[in-house]
Amino acid sequence: MERVVITGLGAITPIGNDAKSYWDNLLNGVSGADKITRFDTTKFKTDFACEIKNYDSLNYFDRKESRKLDRFNQYGLIASDEAIKDAGLIFDKLDTDRIGVIFSSGIGGFETIEHDIMEFSQNHFNPRFNPFFITKIIANSVAGYLSIKYGLHGVNTCTVTACSSSTNGLVQAFNYIKWGKADIIIAGGSEAPINQSAVGGFNAMKALSTNNENYKTASRPFDISRDGFVLGEGAGALVVESLQSALKRNAKIYAEIIGGGETADAYHITNTHPEGKGAYLAMKEALREGKIEPSELDYINAHATSTGPGDVSETKAIEKLFGENLGNINISGTKSMTGHLLGGTGAIEAIATCFSTQTDLIPPTINTKVIDGAISPELNLTLEKKIGKSVNFALSNNFGFGGHCAAVLFKKYNR
């Protein structure tokens, strides 16, 4: 089996429009929440979200190209281009038959779907659709665009598992490379769901926070007063590479992937298993594959969406798996800063976990003041301030509607 490493990172997020800015703002506990600017929220229960700041598509694409791309396409391409440059990939010097793309989205071109259907109805159902309507909305289009742009002929696919999409995709990229079926894979996820349909739909499910008066601190994982997640947008991309390929290129290495778990709650289409069954099994499998004991883990970047059942079930799974070692593991819920990027969330949180293993710094969980009594007081939730700590092994967890559960295990890179 090949060893698998991360050699490039790229991100565009509500708290930073590149990977380094995103990481710095995570460490500084910056909230990305603000009032929604995309549409009139007067009639909606929630009027805030974590939008990307100072974004102009024409800073990245020419006008003609921009019109062919949904916002989620744009974010995915921007993050991937950064990761590719960060990794120093020169495709003319590489075997592109062995380079692939696994790029995920939970929903795809949500903004385009809403816009074009509204226009269709307002124009008396006259079917004058944009010729790029289909390619703008399909979730796999970022993967396709990347392979075409760079001439990459290896595996090309898109994992769609709701909020665990890009974590599942990262585990699958790890598998392809460890099995020797690819040398390099661009893995990541993108989402652009801040629109009327998404806010209205999640409000109807009672999944979104409606704390409009305290929107900056509304995403408060584990807190007794949490009332739902805060919607976010953006993308993350990681260059996943065999160690042999990375050493041959003399590439910098952020971290090594040593294990992945993909499981199911098999319980409910939206609610998590009350005891975190799928989460427990995913983390357990990642550790088993990575050949480490629970006592060796240093850090967990938790799914921690700030929903009532979700936070409790994940912490129960952590408590069950790590038992007496709970106090030695730092946990942080970085969605307290970025909001929830749905299918893109696993990618940006994997980036944060890579940075933690590289820098020995752990970002905080912000906004959390009074821990829910259903959550073990033994958990170290890294509240309010970053900490410095040796991070040799770290997990990144993500779970999605449908009961999808995924965990990826990173290790500090040592030759």
Q: What is the CATH number of the domain that holds 10?
A: 3.40.47.10
**Tell me, what amino acid is at 7?**
T
Phi and psi (nearest 5°) for 384?
75, -40
Looking at residue 126, its pLDDT comes to 79
Q: Are residues 80 and 133 both part of a single domain?
A: yes
Tokens for 28? Answer: 């500084």
Looking at residue 371, its pLDDT comes to 98
What b/e readout covers 70-84, taking b as 16+ CB neighbours within 10 angstroms?
bbbbbbbbbbbbbbb
For 408, the enclosing helix (H) or strand (E) is strand 404-411
Name, in order, each residue with C-beta under 8 angstroms of 238's C-beta and a sequence gap of 6 or more: 6, 8, 9, 10, 83, 170, 173, 186, 187, 188, 347, 350, 351, 354
Among candidate residues 303, 354, 404, 405, the one labeled active-site is 303
Domain termination residue (choose one: 249, 274, 301): 249
- In terms of residue numbers, what domain contains 398? 260-411
Looking at residue 415, its pLDDT comes to 79
Name, in order, each residue with C-beta under 8 angstroms of 254's C-beta and a sequence gap of 6 or more: 5, 6, 7, 9, 354, 355, 357, 358, 413
Among candidate residues 50, 163, 354, 405, the one labeled active-site is 163
Looking at residue 143, its pLDDT comes to 98
For 22, the enclosing helix (H) or strand (E) is helix 19-27
345 three-class SS: helix
Domain termination residue (choose one: 219, 249, 279): 249
Overall domain count for the chain: 2
Q: Are residues 209 and 317 both part of a single domain?
A: no
Q: Are residues 274 and 242 both part of a single domain?
A: no
User: Residue 36, Cβ neighbours under 10 Å: how many?
Assistant: 20
> Max CA-CA distance within the chain?
65
Q: Is 254 inside a domain boundary?
A: no
Name, in order, each residue with C-beta under 8 angstroms of 214's C-beta and a sequence gap of 6 or more: none
Q: Annotated catalytic, 273?
A: no
Q: Are residues 120 and 18 both part of a single domain?
A: yes
Phi and psi (nearest 5°) for 357?
-70, -30
Among candidate residues 115, 273, 340, 404, the one labeled active-site is 340
Tell me the pLDDT of the chain (415 aa) as tens digits: 999 999 999 999 999 999 999 999 999 999 999 999 999 999 999 999 999 999 999 999 999 999 999 999 999 999 999 999 999 999 999 999 999 999 999 999 999 999 999 999 888 777 888 899 999 999 999 999 999 999 999 999 999 999 999 999 999 999 999 999 999 999 999 999 999 999 999 999 999 999 999 999 999 999 999 999 999 999 999 999 999 999 999 999 999 999 999 999 999 999 999 999 999 999 999 999 999 999 999 999 999 999 999 999 999 999 999 998 898 999 999 999 999 999 999 999 999 999 999 999 999 999 999 999 999 999 999 999 999 999 999 999 999 999 999 999 999 999 7
**The model's pTM:** 0.97
Domain termination residue (choose one: 249, 284, 314): 249
Looking at residue 128, its pLDDT comes to 82
Q: Is 129 inside a domain boundary?
A: yes
User: Residue 128, Cβ neighbours under 10 Å: how many?
Assistant: 8
